[in-house]
Structure 1
């Protein structure tokens, strides 16, 4: 057994999810025990700066370094706090804070709209909160910077969680979709294994290429922007989807928005606020003007965009619809969103990962705790059929604290 702290702040930038986890086994026999989990909100000024950077605001190199340090300090504080009342952890797995993500061959974000590089241009993904500083501040070896190794192998660098989902959630007799609803939505498809896992094997049962995964599009990112816009920044989320539930979706708008190229793109694929961020939201508001929608109507329509982007991606890219969908992430608490998904996916049952024994709020942090433990043990952490990488690779950089150096 290894005690590991998993840390992540997602594209919603609402805080740092910290999970103190006991990890037992490797892959086919993997078991995790969540000892403690807590979300640590960012200080308001830091969150505002991160969101500004994610929206394209420029930084000097000095400001960039200061932001990187500030995020690392918040992550280190979260790690020390989560273990304060428990036996200490031996390892930290920190995903960090994504501030920029460019999938391979994507030239949409270049200032001129053109590039001298070919369409095979390698992807790029930047997570702040450097592991070297976290290791020094906590005194705990820290694995960080998980995405570049997959990108170097030709992959998207995302999503990275499906391999852990397969180890912890796959079922013998039921196919599953594990749908994360963070700022951006992503799915893991797990076919029925046909038999229980074999603890004598190190591979992930015999699922092989049956595991699929990709980013489905916006989940909470546009909804949170809309709430901030319509509330005059007094609210950051639509708790439970209560505001959206009072509106009526405009189907014509949803169909218009679903014509965006990303939704028709076949996996492997990933995205972020670079596409579904402030600029996209502003265009949504302009598109909505002729329909004279109320704020509740706009929220309901954006919710329907999230719902139908998920449902249609299943219908288009899965070999068959799943037997069950398990939701996780902040959006799993959105009762209205969950209800719309259930309505559109009927008769597929929509539940949460908590109902399958894995916390909806800390599943992603748990996954990076597991990936960190695998990195130290030399176990590859990506799935090439999910990310598009040429081969399985070790994910993450190992940062040792100063007193462990000899």
Structure 2
């Protein structure tokens, strides 16, 4: 058994999710036990700097270096705090904080020299070297770049972990994470070459537009709609949702990935402008943006899956949005919608647990990506290992 810490801050930039996890077994045949989980909010000024960079505000290299170090220190502190009162871990898996993500561009046509393939690019801040030095623990970080170098999107990286922890012998499942951005892993029942049939991609906005709307409507006094109760008091504007669903991203075939670069501040202000003609109340606007998240997820399933799953299992912050969950249940009609809590895996800390598992696999030289999910040319080891010198 190995005790591992998983660390991640997602596209919502709420703070650092930390999971202290006991892991045993090999490859897909692993068992995990969550010893402790906690979220450590960023200091307000650090969160604002991160969101500013994610929104495309230009900064100097010196400011980027300072931000990188500040995030690394915050991650290292989270790793230390999650262990208080517990037996210490021996390994850290840190995803870091994504501040930029560009999917690969596929060339087309016979003259490939005029339209070459362009590798994707992704940047996660919070240097693993610093985390290893501060904590005195071996740290694996920068998980996405190896998949990108192999022609993949570097996202989503969690489907192989989902296959290990949430697959079922008789049942096909969609594991739907709803963070700032939504992503799905379709896991068929464990038969024949089931691993090769797994499909995964970013479905589009998760909480990103909802959070931006709440901040806009409350002048920053609130950052999210707790339980979706504000949105639940409104009425969705369905013509507006249909218009928004024409966005090119929703119609791109997987593998595909996205982020705040697309579904961020600029896109939110376009949504606001579109909504002016309908004179929506604040609650109606939130209901309509919630409907976009739900409808884009369901549209994604109906368009790109071989068939609808027998069960949908939610995780991430959006799984706590009861109104969003209800809308998914309505739109999916006969497909049950649960959370990973109901099948024995923490919905709040599943992503942090996943990066603990990916670090565990990296240490045992087990590939962490699924080419069927990311579009990479092959399975690769994920993560850069930072040893601690004694």
TM tier relative to shorter chain:
over 0.9
Superposition pairs for residues 62-101 of structure 1, below 5 Å? Answer: 62-101=62-101
**Cα distance per residue 1:280-325 (max 9 Å; x no partner):** 0000000000100011111000000000100010001111101100
The aligned counterpart of 1:260 is: 247
Q: TM-score, structure 2 length as denominator? A: 0.97
The aligned counterpart of 1:218 is: 205
**Cα distance per residue 1:57-106 (max 9 Å; x no partner):** 11111110110000000000000000121111110000000000000018
The aligned counterpart of 2:144 is: 147
Distance in 1 (alpha carbons) for counterparts of 2:4 and 2:348: 17
The aligned counterpart of 1:163 is: 160
- The gaps in structure 1 that reach 5 residues or longer are 108-115, 195-204
Superposition pairs for residues 26-65 of structure 1, below 5 Å? Answer: 26-65=26-65
Distance in 2 (alpha carbons) for counterparts of 1:16 and 1:119: 38
> Where do 4+ consecutive residues of structure 1 move more than 3 Å?
116-119
Is the 8 Å Cα contact of residues 157 and 387 (structure 1) preserved in structure 2? yes
The aligned counterpart of 1:244 is: 231
The aligned counterpart of 1:130 is: 127
Distance in 1 (alpha carbons) for counterparts of 2:114 and 2:202: 25
Q: TM-score, structure 1 length as denominator? A: 0.93
The aligned counterpart of 1:355 is: 342
- Displacement, 1:400? 1.2
Is the 8 Å Cα contact of residues 27 and 361 (structure 2) preserved in structure 1? no
- Displacement, 1:208? 2.5
Distance in 1 (alpha carbons) for counterparts of 2:325 and 2:43: 30
Is the 8 Å Cα contact of residues 99 and 126 (structure 1) preserved in structure 2? yes
- Displacement, 1:27? 2.5
Distance in 1 (alpha carbons) for counterparts of 2:232 and 2:86: 41
Q: CA RMSD in A?
A: 1.3
- The gaps in structure 2 that reach 5 residues or longer are 108-112
The aligned counterpart of 1:270 is: 257
- Displacement, 1:346? 1.3
- Displacement, 1:37? 0.3
- Displacement, 1:193? 1.2
Deviates more, 1:117-126 or 1:42-51: 117-126
Distance in 2 (alpha carbons) for counterparts of 1:374 and 1:349: 32
Is the 8 Å Cα contact of residues 105 and 118 (structure 1) preserved in structure 2? no
SS of residue matched to 1:18 = strand
The aligned counterpart of 2:365 is: 378
